Amino acid sequence: MIFYIFLMLLGQIIVSVSQVLLKKSAQKHYDSVIREYLNILVVSGYALLVISMFITIICYKGLPYMGVVLMESVSYIIIMILSRFIFKEQIGFGKICGMSLIILGILIFYLI
């Protein structure tokens, strides 16, 4: 079970990086619609999403259904941290409260 938890965390890191790549691409201006959707950032971002999806499917084999669904919320925390360092986004009080509730929910689920 520990293996699947670490595998699920790896999957959430991968999906978080893919979201950052897609946001980076969305911030750029492209000459055509084709270049907007067929560039290295978008293709890489969606490829990482597919890899993360397969990792999640594998994790359903070793973790209970609710455990996998709950672990998917970790990506919100990782994305917030990555956004702070990559995009210099501010983390306000509301985001800290939200992140705390996510962490508290995960702890309650796994400790009870």
Average pLDDT over residues 12-33: 95
Q: How many separate domains does the chain show?
A: 1
pLDDT of residue 35: 92
Domain span including residue 53: 2-111
What count of residues does the chain have? 112
**pLDDT tens-digit map of 76-111:** 999 999 999 999 999 999 999 999 998 898 888 878
**pLDDT tens-digit map of 24-70:** 999 999 999 999 999 999 999 999 999 999 999 999 999 988 888 88
pTM score of the predicted model: 0.87
CA separation (Å) from 3 to 6, 20, 46, 74?
Answer: 5, 26, 25, 17
